[in-house]
Structure 1
């Protein structure tokens, strides 16, 4: 591939979306040849004792990117306090209460925000109706900016990625209260993916000596979890046994691996499915060479701790009292149809375990 084409591929990866991929057709040598996947050439799949590699398409069909919602309660031992860091704040005096109008709402930073804007309308309308406040949606481009907005009380409701929520809790007044899920499944499972026609990478041992693309430094499934669990379970130390580069997000990693700009890397399992549903990629052209030991909750919805009680209760009703199945929230935003109540200390304990093991400090320098 010539230098001009390489530059174009990098630029289009940053653009993202189906349009960006379509613009790469020339660099890919015209239309992609369809990959013929024969599942019989791979090990039989047992979700309780999986062998790898596995076609991503098969794991999507088996629901192995996520876990059933029943596991949210069955697999999490209740905890009174977080194992690491502080608990979410409660207002201690009336002087702390703020009463903003409009309420400012934000979704997780990342390239998908622009795509999701329309899909958030049903939730935004219900928050407004239940609180009696106007709601203003803001696009925030980084978790450092989101943390500062929460800390300065300019942000009042937001969805925060699981790997970043301890920063929000420990550095600001963010209170996690609900988790979106859809079709009876929750959370995501860490996958390490490569192209299915990459015959050089079939197990995690094949990562040694390579350049492996992680997503972002504060991402759970995109960086922190593989950094911990690959060493604990496989004896492979990321950063020592292989070189790490960062793509800037899960969608960029999946897109780059699919197009061949990156060779292999860890991502959140549901992302290839979402991109396949949106016709951005064909998930059948990817394979999974390793998966994490559990599915953990997705990033929660958070509210500012010192909103008036009636506003906080209205925000909760907008999440818990409505069925979003069949709405734009379901069709556009990761097929979310329901919000489950969550407890930060209990349900985000797997994230806190990773942070504790790695000695993560909740300071601004460690935010992306």
Structure 2
């Protein structure tokens, strides 16, 4: 019996040493979750070591839950077919109802290719091992968007400071233009969220816009591209609202893949994004963008990380939970 316990103790020590060695094998992790490594210091997870990569029989794809998910399932059908031919695998669409759910789906390995909204891209990179490789764009540049503050056209509000004491709809806690950017940028312009005005969370950009139109909110910070699409689609009368603030340009939703996919599969996915050209329906819906324009998280998300740093955001499970808790608490008000 003593010999058996001695063997078990030795195995425990050896396993502990192996785990410690595995941790030491990562020369640099940065802000990535402990299951990922960033040896080349490009801020995204490295590909897994030989024999550890994932090669799923069916690839799962989704787009950020910015508006009605069903619309995008149909819109990306042609691209899914293109991905299928490029990878030799079946590609299915998985509808998600929240940014957190999308991050968790990739973190758990149930989601392999995705489009993440600008703000949640940072959480996806650090928590889920997501590798952004593209945004919607044109031949020479990517498509950007602005944070805009919309108010009813017949309202008396002309500048941000006029909104003190009012009820303003943010979208969701992890949204860049719908929450993080306003909290980082507005204080410098004389308007502090939660202090100078009451923040309520609508859940989505289109719901914020429609809430202002219907008088539920006095104003709303939203993504300009979502607002422009709503106007073009006739969901909002262009004369119903006014824009009283417009920020500098941010990148739109990112597209990319799960870092744990086998390198040869990841390359096929990246090549597909680079060579695909949008259908007429996609061009119409995405404001004339005709392709996926290549980007890197390190360079093109620098301004977003700066905003997050100003907000004290941490890309951890606890950090994500705090953002969700803030949103849930705000919805109860």
> Normalising to structure 2: TM-score of the pair?
0.80
Q: 276, 301, 304: which one pairs with 1:351?
A: 304
Partner secondary structure for residue 239 of structure 2:
helix
Number of aligned residue pairs: 281
- Give the 5 Å matches for 1:304-315: 304-315=258-269
**Do residues 266 (structure 1) and 221 (structure 2) align?**
yes
Contact 2:99–2:174 (CA under 8 A) maintained in structure 1: no
Partner secondary structure for residue 165 of structure 1:
helix
Within 2, Cα distance between the matches of 1:254 and 1:167? 25
Corresponding residue of 1:172:
128
Partner secondary structure for residue 147 of structure 1:
helix
Q: CA 1:114/1:333 → structure 2, altered by over 3 Å: closer, same or farther?
A: farther
Partner secondary structure for residue 324 of structure 1:
coil
Residue by residue, what CA displacement relative to the aligned partner does 1:297-333 show, whole Å, maximum 9, x if unpaired?
Answer: 012012011212222122122211122152x322345
Within 1, Cα distance between the matches of 2:135 and 2:93? 19
Q: CA 1:168/1:128 → structure 2, altered by over 3 Å: closer, same or farther?
A: same
Q: Which protein shows a greater Rg?
A: 2
Within 1, Cα distance between the matches of 2:230 and 2:237? 8
- Give the 5 Å matches for 1:104-253: 104-181=60-137, 186-198=143-155, 200-232=156-188, 234-253=189-208
Greater relative contact order (CA < 8 Å, ≥ 6 in sequence): 1
* Ranges in structure 1 where 5+ consecutive residues have no aligned partner: 1-83
Within 1, Cα distance between the matches of 2:265 and 2:171? 35
Residue by residue, what CA displacement relative to the aligned partner does 1:317-364 show, whole Å, maximum 9, x if unpaired?
Answer: 2211122152x3223455442111111011001110011111112223
Contact 1:180–1:337 (CA under 8 A) maintained in structure 2: yes
Contact 2:129–2:259 (CA under 8 A) maintained in structure 1: yes
**Do residues 281 (structure 1) and 243 (structure 2) align?**
no
Contact 2:134–2:293 (CA under 8 A) maintained in structure 1: yes
Aligned alpha-carbon RMSD (Å) = 1.8
Within 1, Cα distance between the matches of 2:68 and 2:212? 18
Residue by residue, what CA displacement relative to the aligned partner does 1:221-256 show, whole Å, maximum 9, x if unpaired?
Answer: 111111111112x13211111111111111111111
The structure with more helix, counted as a fraction of residues? 2
Corresponding residue of 1:58:
none
* Ranges in structure 2 where 5+ consecutive residues have no aligned partner: 1-29, 33-42, 325-333
Comparing 266-275 and 91-100, the one that deviates more: 91-100
Within 2, Cα distance between the matches of 1:85 and 1:340? 26
Q: CA 1:367/1:99 → structure 2, altered by over 3 Å: closer, same or farther?
A: farther
Contact 1:131–1:315 (CA under 8 A) maintained in structure 2: yes
Corresponding residue of 2:18:
none
Within 1, Cα distance between the matches of 2:186 and 2:114? 31
- Give the 5 Å matches for 1:17-166: 85-86=31-32, 87-166=43-122
Residue by residue, what CA displacement relative to the aligned partner does 1:246-288 show, whole Å, maximum 9, x if unpaired?
Answer: 1111111111112222221111112221011111111222111
Contact 2:165–2:197 (CA under 8 A) maintained in structure 1: yes
Within 1, Cα distance between the matches of 2:238 and 2:294? 31
